[in-house]
Structure 1
Amino acid sequence: MIKIITAIPLFAQLPPDKFKPLISDNQLYLKSYSKGTTLYNQKDCCNTFDIVISGSLVVYSLLENGSAMTMFEFSKGHMLGANLLFGDTHTYPFTIYCLSDAQILHITKKAVSNFLHDYNFTMQFIGMLSLNAQKLNQKITMATQKTLRENILEYLKQQSILQHSNSIVLPISKKQLADYLGVQRPSLFRELKNLKDEGMIDVSNRTICLNNV
């Protein structure tokens, strides 16, 4: 278990002996979860800072219109719960479940407080909190300030850059894309049809070609 922990960049500069008493005291522990398992429900209390060792997780929020808005996806090396562990509010605002079998390293508040005495750990920890806050701000902007059309086109442009082509293959299903954008599937399909009718895109299953976008 110590080999797994020291392979994580956040802990790389801490001496291995620092982990042994925390493991013995169950302040650091590994736990496996099956695909489809809900790791945390909305309003569950956050008691640990978690790091994904393997597998993938999705964070979503249920909207008033009944759709589920995907906020984040976590995979190996990603961290969650740190912003809640030391905050005034210790409950999860979203639901988190496993997209695949996953292994999670759970770290208690007591253990994190111990690690924060190390300067390198503290600086990396702060950097991670800052990055998570930036991602959340981007998601809030998407949900509140832009139209569905603008969000669709922004997503398609991002994929075009990542795939180095104006003809892209959606890496997720249209159902997952609707969840990511926080809308019902009919709304997504209707706007995609409008964009196609206006000649801005061509659609063939999960392949979308951007025309002068």
Structure 2
Amino acid sequence: MDINVLEKSRLFQGMTAKELSLCLDSLDAREKKYRKEELILHAGDTTDKIGMVLSGSVTIESNDVWGNRTVLSHVGISQYFAETYALLGEVLLVDVRANEDCRVLFCNIRTLLDGCKKSSPWKEKLLKNILIISSQKNLVLSGRSFHTSSKSCRGRLLSYLNAIALQTGSKEFDIPFNRQQLADYLNLERTNLSKELSHMKDEGLIEYRKSHFKLLKAD
């Protein structure tokens, strides 16, 4: 288990080494490995565990019965998924899939709701951190709704790329999606997205190579 990754993560932020050890034991922490494209959690199931990515990355996606796929978010190293479902015991409405070969740490956070267990510093810190994580997730989902509010392909691309530039503090950055994933995230056809990117490049608005982008000032 990557203790250095855990110590730097938002979930265990503020904990001493002893508190972290007690927390992992109490939450029955278990590490699992997944291959690229392997399903980690399936819509319709329930879970009592929060997942933390130790290596690689995963995507949160919605797949309907007609085969339509919508990428909702990307989860990288030290980031989390399923915390709300785990705490509330609700049926999952999304799939969690390995975006590449990855390792995931699962922690049973339903034990935090066990009123019989004595309160402790690590428990209070963990609950606070989960609240912060959930709030950040809400911002991510709100961001996607904002990006897809435009009716045009270009409008959605400009909204998303501008948001990444603001978040990174740079006009040159890498995005966490490949072309298909970006198209799914912005609810666009991949062909239309690729054409619009080419037009924007020809017009001197952007430069890009694979997932690396640079925003340019329009003349």
TM-score band, normalised by shorter chain: 0.7 to 0.9
> Where do 5+ consecutive residues of structure 2 fail to align?
none
Q: 1:202 deviation in Å?
A: 6.1
Question: TM-score under structure 1 normalisation?
Answer: 0.74
Change (3 A) 1:64 1:155: farther
Q: 1:173 deviation in Å?
A: 3.5
Q: How far apart are the structure 1 equivalents of 2:112 and 2:181?
A: 34
Q: 1:130 deviation in Å?
A: 1.0
CA RMSD of aligned residues (A): 3.6
| Aligned residue in 1 for 2:32 | 31
| Aligned residue in 2 for 1:108 | 108
Q: Where does 1:127-146 land on structure 2 (aligned, <5 Å)?
A: 127-143=132-148, 145-146=149-150
| Aligned residue in 1 for 2:53 | 52
Amino acid of the residue matched to residue 123 of structure 1?
K
Q: 1:150 deviation in Å?
A: 1.4
Amino acid of the residue matched to residue 160 of structure 2?
Y
Q: How far apart are the structure 1 equivalents of 2:73 and 2:118?
A: 26
Amino acid of the residue matched to residue 59 of structure 2?
V
Amino acid of the residue matched to residue 52 of structure 2?
I
| Residues 74-118 of structure 1: per-residue CA shift (max 9 Å, x gap) | 11211111111233x622222211122222111224433369933
> Where do 5+ consecutive residues of structure 1 fail to align?
none
Q: 1:201 deviation in Å?
A: 3.3
Secondary structure (helix, strand or coil) at the match of 1:86 reads: helix
- Conserved 8 A contact 1:67-1:179: no
In the alignment of these two chains, the number of paired residues is 205
- Conserved 8 A contact 1:32-1:103: yes
| Aligned residue in 1 for 2:205 | 201
Q: Identity over aligned residues, as a percent?
A: 17
Change (3 A) 1:70 1:189: same
Question: TM-score under structure 2 normalisation?
Answer: 0.72
- Conserved 8 A contact 2:49-2:86: yes
| Aligned residue in 1 for 2:80 | 79
| Residues 156-195 of structure 1: per-residue CA shift (max 9 Å, x gap) | 33455648447x7776443332122121112223434555
Secondary structure (helix, strand or coil) at the match of 1:124 reads: helix
| Residues 127-151 of structure 1: per-residue CA shift (max 9 Å, x gap) | 11111112112222333x2223211
Choose which of 102, 121, 130 in structure 1 pairs with 2:126: 121
Q: Does 1:152 align with 2:157?
A: yes
